Every structure is written in structure tokens, then in C-alpha cells.
Amino acid sequence: MRRRWMAAVAVSVAGLLTLSACGGGDKQESGGGQAARKVEVFSWWTGPGEADGLKAMREIFAKQNPNFEFFDAAVAGGSGDQARALLSSKLQANQPPDTFQGHAGAELQGYIKSGKLESLNFLYDELKLKEVFPQQLIDQISVQGQVYSVPVNIHRSNVLWFNPSVLKKAGIDGAPKTVEEFITDLDKVKKSGKIPLSIGSQWTLVHLLESVLLGSLGTDAYNALWTANADWSNANVTKALENFKTILSYAGSPQDDWQPAAKQVADGEAAFNIMGDWAYGYFHNPPEGGLGKESHKDFDWAASPGTDGTFMWLSDSFTLPKGAPNRDGAIAWLKVAASKEGQDAFNPLKGSIPARKDADQSLYKDYLSWDLEQWASDKLAGSIQHGVVANDQWRQAITDAVGLFQQDNDVAKFQQALVAAAKNSGQ
């Protein structure tokens, strides 16, 4: 299976590199006879909601930059794993796109250390972005005083999605507030005959793990795991991993990805699912792009158990690669991504909230209104799976450890693997 996947990636890489060789900075005749330079924008926004949001920003870009032609180099794949593999190959071949999407935070450190990205301090100064982005966000995306990406949105990772009717049938009054209550409720759902917890492919288990660690350890202890000389071998981490084991024992059969797992909750087959807030758009959007479900009736939400008061964040952002074929076009795109107009056009459709503090709050309703309030007041913790606290090497080691744990359920071996992953992270 792994060999077939690697072969598929190799074919995709070859195709993408060929595409970039004839795209990127090429010139093309526009309708008025003037040469429009292509701007290759690399992302993984291909699904419902996210593709609509990208289209909305693209329309703003076209209006403001008639001399540039947007070239969509989006690559499909849950959580961007496929896109990142292809992007790494492009950068190693010194064939960068003009700009690429990446998760703000540690995910970009490998590119920064290898000299693949330009600092964007000049753009932050020109656009006064440090005045409109929250200071704690600036702090978490800065590396030695330099900022290398422009966050276009904020997503919340630690969201518990649930079906109110399934909970009521199991005798549960509302969302569990602690990990211990969650385990109790999972058992009640199991006895009622429904799936207690739906899960997707392997990356969704890493996503689940980060919420269980945060809910079990608390914010300060969780954040300490990502500092120098952090102790992953302590008894509190052991207890958190035991909780993870117990919670996983109530999971249904793994689905192909997060969408079919979320659908089990929306359809009343399962009670709970822990997933990022992009699930809201999938639940809520009309059937042509989502499930067309009604919030607080067909589905509802709360902070994942034990994490109320803490916003586990991640952010889609765009970068400026060194050697970008069309550097001016890339900067023009970054200005749209950073702007109030761009973020307010993109985020309501994507199902996320803006990174900027001056957004038009009237555009963010229902779940997104709750999310904005939480973002403004909560403590912050960074996502593992989505690139905030762990670089790609570390995240991959954690992913491998989770995969082995899924097979043998050995907490001691799992913890040893996480200790080793932290030691060898190179972060």
C-alpha cells in the first residue's frame, strides 16, 4: 500500500513540476492584448467551502491586479498532507510556486532553516499588520523577530461535534465538560446502540490526540510539551495517553477521511466527533456543497472535553518563496490575503474566522460568531496535526507513533515513541 502511494506521489510530482515549468512566471495575452503575468498560487483548497472562499479572494485579486493572471495550483487531500509532499519536491528542485499555502507556525520552520522563504517583515511594516493581527498570534508565528507568512484565517481544532438526538436517547443532557465525563458519556452511547465516537483516516487520530492531551494536561502543561527540554515521560502524560486509549476503544470503524466520519454524526449514526471547525461548513452548507443540516438540531458543538477556555488554533497562511518566478505577483496576492476585504470575503465561505482584529463581525454568524468571541478571550494552544507546534519531522514521528498505537494499544511503547520523537525533532 505504501509503495503504491509513493508511486502515485511520484507521478503527481512529475506532473506538477512539468506544470510549473510552463506556468509560474510565463506571460500570456489578455483580452486587451496586454501581457498578463501568471501568479502561481499553490494550496490544498479544493473542497466545498474552501474552494468557494479561494474563488472570492481570487476575484478581488483580479479586480485589483489586471496585469496579473491568477494560476490555481491547488492539490486535493485531507489536511494538506498530499500537497505538502508535492510542495517539498518542487522546492527541492528549485522550482517554487510564486506563493504557497502553509500552516502558520512550526510547519514552516524547515523551509525557513533551509533558506527557502523570504522574511515578510517589510510587508508587515508597509501594511501595518502588527496593528491588526493579535499580538499573541504575531508572537507565535515569529522566528527570531522575523515573520515568514501572512495568516488569512484562524481555525479552531478543539471542537466537539455532537448529535443532540443521539445524546438524548442515551440519557445525556449536554456536551461533556471534562475528559472523565466524556468517557462516561461514550459508554452510555455504546449501551444505547449507537456509535459513540466517529473517526476518519490516520491524521484524524492525531487531531483527536491533541485535544485529549490538552483536555487531560491543561493549557500550561500542554504548551510546555513544545518547549526545549520538555518532559514527555512524566506521569501526567502517561495518564493522558491512557485516556486516549480508553476514548479510542469507543471509536467506530475508521472512515476514509473526516467528512464521512462527520456525516455519521449528522445522520444520527454516531454521537460525537472531534474535528476542526471546518466541519461546520460541511454540516451547515446547502447540499450542493455540504449536508444542509440545521445547527442546534441536527448537530451542535462545544469545546472538546476539558479544553473550555482554551482555543487550540491553526492558521492557513501564504508565503513568499525565495526565487519566486513572479515575486511582484506573489506580493500582490499576499496583500489581498492580508487585507480586511480579502479575509472577510474568504472566511465566511471557508467556515473560519479572520486573523485580523478589525473584521466585519456581522458577516460571522451562528458557530462563527461563537468562534470569534472565543478567539478574543481564550488562552491559546497550538495544533500538532496542523503545523503550529511541531515541525514536519516531529509531526510525522507522532503520526507514525499513533499508527503503531492504533495496532497494539501499548501505552508504554506509545509514550516511549513520543519521547523519542521530541528528542529527535530538530526543533
- Taking residues 271-300, report their average pLDDT: 92
Report the range of poorest mean pLDDT among 77-86, 244-253, 371-380, 413-422.
77-86
Collect contacts of 135-138 with beta carbons under 8 A, ≥24 apart: 136/380, 137/104, 137/313, 137/315, 137/355, 137/380
Please report, to the nearest 10 degrees, the dihedral formed by the alpha carbons of residues 228, 234, 239, 241 taken in order.
Answer: 50
HSE, CB side, 13 Å, CA atoms: give it for residue 362. Answer: 0
- Closest C-alpha to 208, from 240, 242, 244: 244
pLDDT at 381 over 50: yes
Write the pLDDT tens digit of every residue in 178-200. Answer: 999 999 999 999 999 999 999 99
Cβ contact 201:77 at 8 Å: no
Domain 156-312+386-423 has CATH 3.40.190.10: yes
Rounded distance, CA 318 to CA 338, Å?
9
Alpha carbon 111 to its chain's center: 18
Burial of 229 (C-beta count, 10 Å sphere; 0-12/13-18/19+): exposed
Report the range of poorest mean pLDDT among 25-34, 126-135, 300-309, 375-384.
25-34
Pick the residue with more confidence: 336 or 135?
336
What confidence category does residue 126 fall into, taking pLDDT thresholds of 50, 70 and 90? very high
What's residue 426's pLDDT?
78
**Do 156-312+386-423 and 21-153+316-373 fall under one CATH topology?**
yes
Q: What is the grid cell recorded at 364?
A: 460571522
Write the pLDDT tens digit of every residue in 14-52. Answer: 444 444 444 444 444 444 445 679 999 999 888 777 888
Report the range of poorest mean pLDDT among 12-16, 109-113, 377-381, 402-406.
12-16
pLDDT at 155 over 60: yes
Distances in Å between the alpha carbon of 77 and those of 45, 64, 113, 165, 204? 9, 30, 26, 32, 13
Class of the CATH-defined domain 21-153+316-373? alpha beta
Pick the residue with more confidence: 84 or 375?
375
What's residue 12's pLDDT?
42
Counting residues of the chain whose pLDDT is more than 90, the rounded percentage is: 75
Write the pLDDT tens digit of every residue in 245-281. Answer: 999 999 999 999 999 999 999 999 999 999 999 899 8
What confidence category does residue 406 fall into, taking pLDDT thresholds of 50, 70 and 90? very high
Distances in Å between the alpha carbon of 360 and those of 153, 354, 356, 370? 14, 9, 10, 14
Residue 244 CB partners (closer than 8 Å, separation 6+)? 208, 209, 212, 213
For residue 75, report the phi and psi dihedrals to the nearest 5 degrees. -125, 125
pLDDT at 350 over 70: yes
What's residue 2's pLDDT?
31
- Taking residues 128-151, report their average pLDDT: 91
- Taking residues 76-86, report their average pLDDT: 74
pTM for this prediction: 0.85
- Taking residues 276-293, report their average pLDDT: 89
What's residue 77's pLDDT?
65
What's residue 18's pLDDT?
41
Rounded distance, CA 86 to CA 422, Å?
25
What's residue 78's pLDDT?
59
Pick the residue with more confidence: 121 or 278?
121
Where residue 36 falls (left for φ over 0; alpha for ψ -120 to 50; beta otherwise) is beta
Report the range of poorest mean pLDDT among 9-13, 147-151, 222-226, 420-424.
9-13
Q: For the chain, which residues make up each domain, given as ranges?
A: 21-153+316-373, 156-312+386-423
What's residue 44's pLDDT?
87
